Each structure stands twice: as structure tokens, then as C-alpha cells.
Amino acid sequence: MYILFFNPYYTARQLDWRDGTYYTKFFINKMNTDNDPRRPIWAIPVTVGGASVYQGIESGYPTTVEYVVGANSNYTDALKTSSYLGIMITYAEEEFIKAELALNGFNTGKTPKTHYENGITASMTQWGAVPPANYLSQPGVAYNATASNDAQLQQIMIQKYYAFFFVDYQSWFEKRRTGYPVLARGTGIPVENQFPYRVPYPTYLQSLNLANYTKAVTSIGGKDDANAKVWWDK
């Protein structure tokens, strides 16, 4: 008997995979500014004014807005079969964890700056990209060890955010835990909407396990929505 392992994205239609699915300006613009070598691996360039560029869309845009298919950068088809999709923890993530630990006074044997730079380099190496010679020293990337603790944490988290490309829900978990990176909030997001603290229980639980579902919802305040904080997050 043979067990076949395959990348689930391989069977996705182009419509499901990338048509209508675009990178945001928040994501792409920093990569453009930093000349990030992961761009051609992750994104498809588009032609704007006769030039080939990487272009994103607004975050949280109104539902009345409809973007023209192919006019903005989206996933490369090569990602469908990439073995790097779905990895649970990478060396880059480990280095960014250590950067935060070192920043908070734990002895990791290295400085936050060294771990930070190792994390960036590890992510690029993982994706087969070669960092430009001056990448780590350029404005916007160069680690500022003299900045406040909070400012240094922001630097670590934005780079960790990119290293989490296609790594489960880790970007959301880290945003919820630290508050970083500060994400763009589009005009299509209602004012009353908050950043989600949790994922609501799946609807099938209400029919298959109503008694325990009700107990669980009661324990978090009686509302099964994204704004309810679980016990360890209060």
C-alpha cells in the first residue's frame, strides 16, 4: 500500500489560486522600497505605464470596488507546487523569536540585531532568494539598536511578518499577541469592527454538540464572535 503526499494547492484552478486574489499595497510597497529579492518568487509583476512593476491593492477596500483581473500583482503559479507552503516552523521564525527574547533581556548568546539579521537572511535563503549586498544596512531594514524597546520590537515583527508568508495563521497570532505590524485599515472596514481576537466555533458544533458548545460560549461571555477574548488573552 502506498501513501501519497501532495501539495493541496496543486489542484487549485487558476481562478481559485490567483485571479481576483491580489497582494495589498501594505505588503508589496515595503518590498518595493526595500528591493526585496523574494518579490519575483512570490508575486507576478504587471505593466503600468510601460514599466514592469509589482503593484498591490488597498487593504479593506469597499465591496463596491472591483479590481480588473490581471491589473495587480498576485501569486505566482509556481507557488502551487512549492514545498515551502504549509511549513509549521522555520529557522527564520526561530531567529526572530530569539531576537525578541534577547530584546527582553534573555541570554540567547547573541544580540537582537544579529538574530534579526539572521532571520531575514534565513527567510530569503529558504525561498531561494539572494539578498542584495546592502539589504541589511539600507534605511527601513537596518536594525536600530539605539531605538526604544517598542520600536525595536516593531522592526522585528514586520520582518517576522514577511517570513510567515504561507505559514498557517502565525501572522494573525503574532499581531494579536504584540499588536505589530500596524496594518493598514481601509475605508471598507466598518468603524465598529475590531481586530479579531478569536475564530468563532464552526457552525456544525451547534448541531452535533450543542450542550458543550453552549457551555464553551457561556465561559467566554455568552457571545460566539471574533471580539470575545479567551481566558488567557484577558
- Cβ contact 170:184 at 8 Å: no
Global model pTM greater than 0.75? yes
Q: Which domain holds residue 229?
A: 204-233
Confidence of residue 2 (pLDDT cuts 50, 70, 90): very low
Which residue, 18, 46, 81, sits at the end of a domain?
Answer: 81
Same domain, 139 and 174: yes
Torsion sign, CA atoms 111, 117, 121, 126: positive
Residue pointed to by grid coordinates 531576537: 99
Is 158 within the bounds of a domain? yes
Same domain, 105 and 139: yes
Q: Which residue has the higher pLDDT, 176 or 232?
A: 176
- Looking up residue 170, the CATH number of its domain turns out to be 1.20.120.840
Same domain, 76 and 104: no
Per-residue pLDDT averaged across 13-28, rounded? 85
Number of domains in the chain: 3
Same domain, 95 and 167: yes
Is 196 within the bounds of a domain? no
pLDDT at 45 over 90: yes
Each residue's pLDDT tens digit, 54-104: 999 999 999 899 999 889 999 998 888 888 887 889 999 999 999 999 999
Residue from 179, 190, 171, 185 nearest 150 by CA: 179
Is 197 within the bounds of a domain? no
Residues 44, 180: Cα–Cα separation, whole Å:
27
Which residue, 51, 81, 111, sits at the end of a domain?
Answer: 81
Each residue's pLDDT tens digit, 145-194: 999 999 999 999 999 999 999 988 899 999 999 999 999 999 998 888 88
Cell of 58: 488597498
Taking only Cα atoms into account, the Rg of the chain, rounded to an integer number of angstroms, comes to: 20
In the chain, the percentage of residues whose pLDDT exceeds 90 is 67
- pLDDT of the residue at 5: 52
Which residue, 81, 105, 139, sits at the end of a domain?
Answer: 81
